[in-house]
Amino acid sequence: MLKINTQSEWIARANEVLPAGGFGNFDPGIIIARGEGSHVWDEDGNEYVDYLIGSGPMLLGHGHPEVIEAVLEQLPKGMTFFANNARGIELAEAIVDAVPCCEQVRFVAAGGEADMYAIRLARAYTGRSKILKFEGGYHGMSAEAQMSLAPSRHVNFPQAVPDSAGIPDSVAEQMLIAPFNDLEAVANLLAEHDDVAAIMVEPLQRIVPPAPGYLQGLRDLCDKHNVLLIFDEIVTGFRLAYGGAQEKYGVAPDICTLGKIIGGGFPLAALGASAEIMQHFDKAKVGEDGWLMQLGTLSGNPVASAAGLKTMEVLRRDGMYDHLREIGAELQQMQMDALTGAGIPHQICGDETLFDIYFTDTDCRDYRSAKHDDPRRNAVYNDSLRAHGIFKAPGKLYPSLAVTQADLDQTRMAVEKAVQAISAA
């Protein structure tokens, strides 16, 4: 008789072979067995409405039939070649058509890898070394990206604080840190430092939106000081709009990075820019000294490209983004209504397509202000949501196009229970 492991047994096995019992991504106390549409099931058979959606890529939901069909069509033809393939070329064409700043793209396997190469590309193009990033901004796992991502202590700007062991002190010397949504701070830093290659920013920083005019202000400062502007659109690309944050906010960077949605649930990411900037990937054009070496075993693999192409095709259909925003708006409103009715201070922070709640009266403008007055409320709230069948990260809620009215009704009930749990705590 086939033995079926319980979730607790899987957790015990994970603790034997995985550091901290997990992959480093999400709560290792839950083992997901499968996903379908807007739902996931754990190994004990518990069913959840999924607002994590793989940390963003499953915008169409799990197992979308058209994406599955595209993948199954490609699989017998080959899974990866370490060579150019038609699906990858078609995906590059679709990205260039969609994303304002992209004339050419280069594929990699993960968003953090794309961000690393974007930094290197900016340095190669400008001949400068320093990168300005924003406190709390997430750009992957490179040494530069791990500076002041989530510092536990506040230091004076622009000092960089490493968030990981194993990073040489010299990396901090090449990084300038500024508060998000503060143009004056950026202007002062650029006036003081003439060796800045690029400003790297999430246009929507985690879930903190840019103040009106802020992104255009960054664009203007970069133009004034001959600094490149990098938009990290790993999360926002093809989510905030089909053309990403560049389309939604009307500001084009010099370089952008893309991931998550463009792979349709498979490992794939990209960086893109003008042909002039991207020529640094072409040794024949820039020579040995200007050449940026980049390769990857799975970069542009045809299975991920086929999944991404079909996902993007579905997203181009009429009304898809309007519907996504309607779902997000209803999710925001039901939580605002319940929390306001209970007299619980809160702020909805983000965009209809990506947001969460801070339990505070303070406006959330940057890393230091975007926090809970009492973190225990957030823990109680999210624990109660999961107990009532809602699966989400503690600091983000990703709506998907697979969410149904029945899902929204279940979520509303779970929100009401979670608010009661906070009130009773």
- Residue 300 zone, left/alpha/beta (φ > 0; ψ -120 to 50; rest): left
- What single DSSP character describes residue 366? S
Write down the catalytic residue from 232, 254, 356, 366. Answer: 232
> Which stretches of 127-201 are DSSP H helices?
169-173, 183-192
Write down the catalytic residue from 260, 351, 356, 366. Answer: 260
Annotation says 138 is catalytic:
yes
Tell which residue, 339, 330, 344, has the closest CA to residue 397.
330
| DSSP H or E segment with residue 161 | none
Burial 352-380 (b: 16+ CB within 10 A, else e): bbbbbbbbbeeebbbbebbebeeeebbeb
Contact criterion met (CB below 8 Å) for 398 and 355: no
Instruction: State which amino acid sits at residue 72.
Output: L
Contact criterion met (CB below 8 Å) for 238 and 271: no
* Tally: H helices and E strands in the chain: 14, 13
Q: Where are the beta strands (DSSP E) in 264-384?
A: 269-273, 347-351, 354-358
Would you name the residues annotated as active-site residues? 138, 232, 260
